[in-house]
Structure 1
Amino acid sequence: MSIDITVKYPKMHETWLWFRQRSIQGTCWLLLLWLSMGALHAAPEVDARLEAKLEQYLQLTTHDQKAAAELLQQIAPDITALTPAATKVRFNGYLTSQLSLEKNYPAADQLLQENWQIAEQQQDADIWAEVLADHLQQYWGRGESARAVSYLDTLLQYAAKATQSRVRYYAWNTAARFQSWQGKYELALASYHQAYASIEHDENPRTPFRKMYLKSSIANLHGSLRNYPLAITTIQEGLAESKNNPDLASHVTDFYIQEGYVLVEVGELEAALQSYQQGLVSARNLKDTFSEALLQNNIGDIYLRQRKLDLAASYFEQSLAFGISKQDKPTIALSTFNLGYVQVLQGNYEKGIAQMQAMIKEFGTLGGKADLLAYLLELADAHRFAGKHQDEADVLRQYNQLSSEIFQTDREKQLNQLQEEFSAKEKTKEIAVLTQQNQLKEVQIERQNLQQIVTMLIGVVVVLASCLLFLLYRKVRQANLKLKEANDKLAYQSLRDPLTGLFNRRSLLEHMERRQQSDRRIAAPQLTDGFILLDIDFFKHINDHYGHAAGDAVLVEIAKRLTTLTRTDDMVWRWGGEEFLILLRRVDMTALTNFTQRVLDVIGSSTITFGKQQLQVTASAGFLTYPFAGLDEQTLNWPKALQLADMALYLGKVHGRNRAYGLLGLNQPYQDIAAKLETDLSLAIEQGLVEVVLVEGPAKDLRH
């Protein structure tokens, strides 16, 4: 629940409507009009001379941090007890940031506390907005995200009420960056637009710089939300304005890089190439060597996609030379890896693959696990080009294991974030209690004054109080209804994949927990369910050759086909990337095998339309009944069953794709062969320990 600190009475036009509807006499609404004047908020008093110096400090922070720190020390003696509260809060905020850069957190916290006390005393929306933004930014920067998020909701309230354009910009921009970090892109986009509206007509010298920063941030968010046309429009607006202002020249390069990324995502490689080349010219003019190296790699990647290998190699080599000169390990690793891929495509398989494998190890030390996934897929492709299908399968297995680890890590992060948000709400309640106490004190003082002035109109005041309580109750009720709608929507989205609308992994965890608590298996032990785990063949090539938009179209279409094929009480999950999982209710192995045949047929028998392209798609799968082979679920639980289905799926990948392997049963007791099943299913099958059935997809002569 949020508390409004500054507004004690309803807005003037709302109060007039209330009286008019109830036919209160003219003297009553005149009194109400007089009381409502106290709710109008004016900009806080500031020291114009000190404010000008603080603006100069901001300008220096963009290019000379040392000079900025020195100027801040020169301003410090001018901050006295007579300095207006708004100016003092602003200076303290800048000094807090400077102290945090120096890791002097105790002194920074002391200033934060001083500003909080000033805000409580002044009860001014602009001061509260700046103080709350400082608190959020400071604790977020220190990694205390749970504490930072506790200030977000209140910050959003005061950002909307602030009157100074600089404060509104700072508050909304801080909120937007934090919301984007949380992954709440729609909310972040709205906050960035509020920040832009705050300075749209501002004549501050920093306004053009701030606008370009906001346009770049908004374009990035549109890209994250796959709003590619809006992203391109925003980028082109930013380019047009940056080119016409020499002070914004550094933004030109950044906008060209953004434009290239978006155009690659929509498959317009030639247009992306032109953007990157223009960005390269801009970077060289500005002597921005780091951007130049990045653009060289991006240009080389496009030529690689177009199989213009010599051109690609030349740009990767230029990027590599820069990385070596600057001892920049990420640039060296990426350029070397790409050059290895070029060699593979040129037929120099052994040397190219060795070079790529060496860089895979380097990436493991430089970046996160998620970044490593894309490189593993490139390495798997290299093995395929070299005809080393077993090595390809090994890399894909490594990719699958890493994906599972990332999924587990992401799930833990989600749980931590939920805990942080819960803690934030508790912190918000604590803040609300403090502000309520301040409100009560102010109301008591005002009530004593009003009793001396309006004794004759005490009855009107009572009616007014009742009206205010009613309006407050109605607003709280509306807010609670909106919160419930938002929670319901969040609960739905948390269990669904945003692209395909299918269930996600989290929903499977909840479903299997409910299944374990059910007594259905006890009541009808002869009935089994069926798991089918399938993976789209050569999905990466669809993304590479036709763009990620084509890949998304394929995923959406296959999701529709699988949903149409299944029954009402069956379930279909998007398991991750290009993988899908199907749970069939009450089926035996014969029915499961027949259904798997239908799945391969419905995927592979007809093409998928994307623009003017007709994409032929097939899938590989692994399937089994659950409980499996008569084993109880305590002996072989569902994660182990899915692991067996996954290994069966990769058998299909290794043996030619467009096929599915089903596990019929075990030829020896499970306890005797469990280790082999969990480590090398292929060997277990060769030794006759597992009985399998092969289901093949549509004949190859029906496919492109």
Structure 2
Amino acid sequence: MSRWAGWARWVVTGWALLGAWGVGAQEAAAPPPLPAEVIAHLRQLVELGLEQPDEALRRLRSEPVSPESRPWLRYTEARIQLSRGNLAAVRTLYPSAQPPADALALHVRALLARREGQSERAAAWVDQAMAVVSPLCPTPIPEAAAQREACPLPLWVDLVALATRQGLAQGGGAAGLERIERAMAWARQRRAVDLQAQLYLERADFHQVHDEAAKVDATLTEALALPGLSTRRRVLLLNYQAGMAAQRDQRPRQGELLEEALELALADKQLRLAAVLRGNLADFHVHQGRPKEARQLAELALPVLQRFDDVSEPAVRHNLALALIDERAFDAARSQLARLQEMPTQERVAERAAGLRELGDAWARAGQYKEALALFHAERKLMQAHQAQAKEQALEEVRQSLGSAQKEAELALAKSSNEVTQQTLENQDTLRQVAVAAGVLLALCLGLGGMFWMRARVAFRKLRHNQDLLKALSERDALTGLANRRQFHAVMAARGAQALEGSLVLIDIDHFKRINDGHGHAGGDVVIKTMADRLSQAVRDGDMVVRWGGEEYLVYAPTLKGTYTKQWVERLMPVLCGTPITLPDGHTLDVTCSMGFVTLPIPPLGVTLGWERALNWADLALYAAKNRGRRRAIGIAGLHVNDEVSLAQVESDFDGAASAARLSLVQVLASPAGG
């Protein structure tokens, strides 16, 4: 995808998610009680502030002030200031030196923390606020009017949305659906249609993350049928539907939904919302090969988004850069990308990597291979760093598990030791009184000592087992069972400084992101596992197969040399890509791959390389295969230079070296998938 403004999920929490304070331990209070209609009115001012912040603030300052309303008025002003990107005003209203007094302050601080990318801190604020507000909105809904009036429903709905999203981002979120349904019951009881629509969007997001497409569609259909739905909420729902259509590669449907949403937004004078929709339409036209239309839409959207310091501005600039590249306006595209690089981002690593890949593909289509290659390596570096961090987190969890096991062993030893000591003291006292009991006491001590020894042995056996588990987890990929980077690095380290011999083959599944977008992560995992199984069956004894990261694999064949490597790749290609893969949803996919390979020493001069450099050359060959249309393998068959300066020049201009006959390449084309 290009960059898609995740509007439906983001607007409902207040347009901008901002902030950054330390999370204090002091327990915050419940928000002061106000009549439900007053809270609903203040929520309408927050909604007005999304488009007209100055007018919303003017109306807010004319509201009557009382001890009960003052915290709510301050909270509403902070939400409006958030919508215009005025962080200084928000921090004046809620100074960081002051602990949050109530759930309203906790919510504002959570929004601020999310804006600054401090997700853990935001989660802590949200959890504290939920603990305060949730008891005020119990289910079943109380019959007593006074108890029902105590529920600050708009605040609770916003907190439920944030808490649910945090759970989904952390890979869980099972409790999220139950919270959504509880809040939905209250919204229906209050006949709060727009709050219902907000919760429908959260429910749709929950089902989307869990690859439940039919439930996503049913949820959105129910939401659009709500009587009395505001234009803004209808537009947000249509935008979300368009996003789902894009993920399912239903591009015509995506365009229709976005055009309908834009028409409604403009008719309702929702200019900021219209700017976000224009940015999403720019994404649509980029994918449809219409860069002129994409550029015009992005240029219309950007001034409005800049005025509000809108978080979707980076996505729109990204789409504008893609359109400019396709129009061959390279200097203008570089200018947009330079501005984009200066902007903070809230994107996850996978989204940033997809953006780099998309820009690299655009530069390659335009024949600008220097930029394309730089982005290719930037994407790879980003993913490698992310995978290293994820692996370290997993290892830390295992280390903590080991630490717990060791502590259990130490506690068992200490407990047993205390028992022995206590019993010995008692025995000594008894011994002074009854000498004949000495033998009995000795037997008792021996028994306790034996029991202590057995318990210690069991504890240390468990510790040793966990250490073995740590080693296994650190060297194998959990999904495929293949070796991982760590194990490959260990094998290479064992070789010492000697030059590498044999063949390195890098394999990359073509268009894997489309598989993930169209069939969910479960479908993507099946493809990765199936390709790994096929690869494992195709290699020879002594070869090492590594899941190199994401959709990439590495084969190290230490005894595969000369022209035999090309012959082996010719046999491997149909094994990997010749049979369609059946997914959990019943679809079958023709999956293809690209490969890059190098055999060492490289003929005819017998050039030798260290393993890291050899891997980089295989990487360059893989990039050449992808750049020439994928579904093929490119191998380095010959190298006609042997000095360090010339080798560095080949690395910096791989295609140029091939054209200048300093480098000889061979190509293996894949047969049609399924054929």
Q: Is the TM-score greater than 0.5? A: yes
Tell me the residue number matched to 2:486. Answer: 510
Structure 1 position 270, deviation (Å) = 3.8
Residue 276 (1) aligns with residue 252 (2): no
Change (3 A) 1:687 1:636: farther
Instruction: Give the AA of the match of 1:272.
Output: Q
Q: Distance in 1 between matches of 2:475 and 2:169?
A: 13
Residue 376 (1) aligns with residue 359 (2): yes
Tell me the residue number matched to 2:560. Answer: 588
Question: Among 561, 572, 588, which residue is 1:599 paired with?
Answer: 572
Tell me the residue number matched to 2:61. Answer: 70
Question: Among 519, 525, 547, which residue is 1:573 paired with?
Answer: 547
Question: Among 92, 109, 112, which residue is 2:99 paired with?
Answer: 112
Instruction: Decide whether the 8 Å contact of 2:167 with 2:173 is kept in 1.
Output: no
Tell me the residue number matched to 2:203. Answer: 218
SS in 2 for 1:619: strand
Structure 1 position 362, deviation (Å) = 0.9
Instruction: Give the AA of the match of 1:575.
Output: G
Instruction: Decide whether the 8 Å contact of 1:502 with 1:572 is kept in 2.
Output: no
Residue 259 (1) aligns with residue 241 (2): yes
Instruction: Decide whether the 8 Å contact of 2:282 with 2:298 is kept in 1.
Output: no
Instruction: Decide whether the 8 Å contact of 1:624 with 1:645 is kept in 2.
Output: no
Instruction: Decide whether the 8 Å contact of 2:500 with 2:600 is kept in 1.
Output: no
Instruction: Decide whether the 8 Å contact of 1:621 with 1:652 is kept in 2.
Output: yes
Q: Distance in 1 between matches of 2:390 and 2:544?
A: 27
Question: Among 269, 292, 310, which residue is 1:287 paired with?
Answer: 269
Instruction: Decide whether the 8 Å contact of 1:72 with 1:95 is kept in 2.
Output: no
Tell me the residue number matched to 2:185. Answer: 200
SS in 1 for 2:506: strand
Structure 1 position 213, deviation (Å) = 1.4
* Matches for 1:92-131 after TM superposition, within 5 Å: 102-104=89-91, 108-109=95-96, 112=99, 114-115=101-102
Tell me the residue number matched to 2:666. Answer: 694
Q: Distance in 2 between matches of 1:91 and 1:420?
A: 45
Q: Distance in 1 between matches of 2:499 and 2:276?
A: 61
Instruction: Give the AA of the match of 1:560.
Output: T
Instruction: Give the AA of the match of 1:622.
Output: F
* Matches for 1:186-197 after TM superposition, within 5 Å: 186-188=171-173, 190-191=175-176, 193-197=178-182
TM-score for both structures, normalised by structure 1: 0.58
Identity %: 15
Change (3 A) 1:258 1:72: same
Deviations 1:276-319 (A, max 9, x none): 34323322331223444554565576577667x6xx86686466
Instruction: Decide whether the 8 Å contact of 1:294 with 1:319 is kept in 2.
Output: no
Instruction: Give the AA of the match of 1:198.
Output: A
Tell me the residue number matched to 1:365. Answer: 339
Structure 1 position 250, deviation (Å) = 1.0
Instruction: Decide whether the 8 Å contact of 2:201 with 2:220 is kept in 1.
Output: yes
Q: Distance in 2 between matches of 1:216 and 1:114?
A: 30
Structure 1 position 403, deviation (Å) = 0.7
Residue 564 (1) aligns with residue 534 (2): yes
Structure 1 position 415, deviation (Å) = 9.1
Instruction: Give the AA of the match of 1:75.
Output: S
Higher relative contact order (CA 8 A, sep 6+): 2
Q: Distance in 1 between matches of 2:335 and 2:157?
A: 42
Residue 644 (1) aligns with residue 617 (2): yes
SS in 1 for 2:555: strand
Deviations 1:163-182 (A, max 9, x none): 55746884685365266368
Instruction: Decide whether the 8 Å contact of 2:485 with 2:547 is kept in 1.
Output: no
Structure 1 position 532, deviation (Å) = 1.4
Instruction: Give the AA of the match of 1:407.
Output: M
SS in 2 for 1:531: strand
Q: Distance in 2 between matches of 1:494 and 1:50?
A: 60
Change (3 A) 1:698 1:686: same
Instruction: Decide whether the 8 Å contact of 1:136 with 1:149 is kept in 2.
Output: yes
SS in 1 for 2:507: strand
Residue 61 (1) aligns with residue 9 (2): no
Residue 235 (1) aligns with residue 235 (2): no
Higher helix share: 1
Structure 1 position 255, deviation (Å) = 0.8
Tell me the residue number matched to 2:421. Answer: none
Question: Among 491, 498, 506, which residue is 1:533 paired with?
Answer: 506
Deviations 1:40-73 (A, max 9, x none): xxxx999766776555434433325425753688
Tell me the residue number matched to 2:597. Answer: 622
Q: Distance in 1 between matches of 2:330 and 2:645?
A: 40
SS in 1 for 2:225: helix
C-alpha RMSD over aligned residues = 5.6
Q: Distance in 1 between matches of 2:282 and 2:74?
A: 48
Change (3 A) 1:671 1:573: same
Q: Distance in 1 between matches of 2:62 and 2:392?
A: 41
Deviations 1:313-361 (A, max 9, x none): 66864665565798888798577667668xx7xxxxxxx32x2662353
Structure 1 position 147, deviation (Å) = 4.1
Deviations 1:586-614 (A, max 9, x none): 54325654432222232454566898987
Instruction: Decide whether the 8 Å contact of 2:505 with 2:555 is kept in 1.
Output: yes
Q: Distance in 2 between matches of 1:663 and 1:142?
A: 46
Instruction: Decide whether the 8 Å contact of 2:31 with 2:104 is kept in 1.
Output: no
Instruction: Give the AA of the match of 1:697.
Output: L
Q: Distance in 1 between matches of 2:64 and 2:389?
A: 41
Question: Among 228, 244, 255, which residue is 1:245 paired with?
Answer: 228
Tell me the residue number matched to 1:396. Answer: 372
Instruction: Decide whether the 8 Å contact of 2:593 with 2:631 is kept in 1.
Output: yes
Deviations 1:63-113 (A, max 9, x none): 25425753688224888xxxxxxxx8x788778879976244596456535
* Matches for 1:650-669 after TM superposition, within 5 Å: 650-653=623-626, 658-663=631-636
Q: Distance in 2 between matches of 1:515 and 1:382?
A: 38
SS in 2 for 1:75: coil
Instruction: Decide whether the 8 Å contact of 2:286 with 2:294 is kept in 1.
Output: no
Task: Give the stretch that moved more between structures: 294-303 or 278-287.
Answer: 294-303
Instruction: Decide whether the 8 Å contact of 1:323 with 1:332 is kept in 2.
Output: yes
Structure 1 position 222, deviation (Å) = 3.7
Q: 5+ residue gaps in structure 1?
A: 1-43, 80-87, 116-128, 345-351, 384-390, 423-484
Q: Distance in 2 between matches of 1:627 and 1:685?
A: 15
TM-score for both structures, normalised by structure 2: 0.60
Q: Distance in 2 between matches of 1:290 and 1:47?
A: 33
Instruction: Decide whether the 8 Å contact of 1:264 with 1:272 is kept in 2.
Output: yes
Change (3 A) 1:555 1:627: farther
* Matches for 1:400-411 after TM superposition, within 5 Å: 400-407=376-383, 410=386
Deviations 1:395-428 (A, max 9, x none): 5313312213433564687699999999xxxxxx
Q: Distance in 2 between matches of 1:416 and 1:114?
A: 37
Instruction: Decide whether the 8 Å contact of 1:528 with 1:627 is kept in 2.
Output: no
Q: Distance in 2 between matches of 1:313 and 1:525?
A: 55
SS in 2 for 1:510: helix
Q: Distance in 1 between matches of 2:336 and 2:163?
A: 31
Tell me the residue number matched to 1:209. Answer: 194
Q: Distance in 2 between matches of 1:273 and 1:360?
A: 28
Structure 1 position 647, deviation (Å) = 1.2
Instruction: Give the AA of the match of 2:201.
Output: S
Instruction: Decide whether the 8 Å contact of 1:596 with 1:695 is kept in 2.
Output: no
